[in-house]
Amino acid sequence: MAIMHTVIIKNNDSTDIEIPDLGIIGVPAGDQITLSNQETYPEIAGSDDLRTLVENGDLVVNDGSDDLSAADGVLYLTIVRQQYLMDTFYTRAQLQGSGQAEIHWNNLTNKPAFGDPSFVAPVLYRVLDIASDATASNVGDVYVDTDDDKYYKWNGAAWVDDGDVAEGDRVINLDHATENIHVFDSGAWADTTESADQTLVNVNDDGDGNDAQYVYDGPTDTWLKMGDIDYSGHFDGGAGKHDASEIDVEGTYPNVPSSPCDAETAISELSDAITSAAESNTLDEAYDEGGAGAGRAITADSGPVEIDNGGGTQAGFRLVPNATFPSVSLANGQVHVDADGIEYVYDGTRGKWLSKARMTMSFSRQGNSANAYLLSGEVPANQSGPRFHKDVCITGISCQLSNVSTGTLIVRKDDVAINLFTLAISSAQGDHDDTIDESIDAGSFLQCGLTSSVTPRNPVVTIWYAYEKK
């Protein structure tokens, strides 16, 4: 029975037959489909519904040339799966070799060029030479002085004694043609011939006093640095490293704890310290935390900020009165209480500190009021008027008539025939303006009148003002 990887499914029945787990709506009655053209081999071999239909004789497997019996059809589906795996994946026997009971590197194809790395014993230094002298290029360069069997390290200005050579010491000799590792054995340096392609070695000090790892590159006969492995500083609290005894931020916080310990203890004590600090923290400390306090803000994005005095007899909030008003970084909505206890709010539109409270004064006149001053109480405004006891800013004005009229409302002060501002009324029973910005000094008084072409009747004028801090 030839394996051609062709899977034809025939339906010799008089009705369509569904193969549910393959998503086949139906193999047409008295017809066939080439299943291998639309399904993968793993899907075909893994279909329990197809296997059952073939076993029961409902469907027939054809291998591209012959119709197979039910038993052979099931077997063919299994063999197709096995053949697919053989063509696609390596077998265990192919991957194993050299007498090994495990996958062997040599039996892998398209593998990374890195090969099979192997470690050799660590070395102390990468030395410029094993000689009586050497010429340095960089700070940290080392050479072996054969005159007194010592290591010397270049500090940028001179060679400094870095210790005696000891039996068994190992170094990478950069002066050697292939940079072989040399070992001090029985009073002499010997080539170990350990420098082979993809050999890995740890260097205890490659010039900066710390460990590093190197790999040998066979094509260039050089050792290439893979990276520093400066672990020691993390465990002994070396310079620039943080261990359990150095949980601080730029010296702001005390060490937690005061001596080295395991991480769990450090975290526990740090948590206790944070909790204790939070419980004793004041609003002033929270405001100053991490800086001078400039620009602190509360983002009330989850509901309003509430201050509840718990029904006590003390106020829940207080702004300390201050005669000196803020003059920098001013913005709409800022609040200040002056020495008299008056609350002021900064008006960014007018660029002024105005009292939160708004006050009004009224002028009116009964009957016809064409080209006439209105009354303040029962007195004509040209004879007297409301006098201000503080500096104020007029912020709005309105006028209402009992008839439709056209005219101009004029506002003056201190018996001076100069209009501070006006309000035009055009074929209407009134109008208003809330954009007035007119500063009035303490001690001044106002007059109000109407000029008109259509006689206004029964005018009532209201002027809004606030205390102004100049």
Query: pLDDT tens digit string along 154-174?
Result: 999 999 999 999 999 999 999
What pLDDT digit, counting tens, does each position of 460-469 carry?
Answer: 999 999 999 9
For domain 359-469, give its CATH number from 2.60.120, 3.30.70, 3.40.1130, 2.60.40: 2.60.120
Tokens representing residue 86 in the block: 């053989």
Q: How confident is the model over 242-277, as pLDDT tens digits?
A: 554 444 444 444 555 666 666 777 777 777 777 776
Under the banding of pLDDT at 50, 70 and 90, the label for residue 325 is very high
Q: What average pLDDT score do residues 136-141 get? A: 91
pLDDT at 425: 94
Give the span between the Cα atoms of 427 and 338, in whole angstroms: 45
For the stretch 182-202, pLDDT in tens is 999 999 999 998 888 888 999
Domain spans of the chain?
Answer: 8-88, 120-228, 359-469
Whether the pTM exceeds 0.85: the reply is no
pLDDT at 1: 35
pLDDT computed for residue 2 by the predictor: 38
Report the pLDDT value the prediction gives residue 146, as an integer from 0 to 100.
Answer: 93
**In 3D, which of 79, 23, 86, 14 has the Cα closest to residue 50?**
23
pLDDT band at 30; cut points 50, 70, 90: very high
User: Which span out of 98-102, 242-246, 267-271, 420-424 was modeled with the highest average pLDDT?
Assistant: 420-424
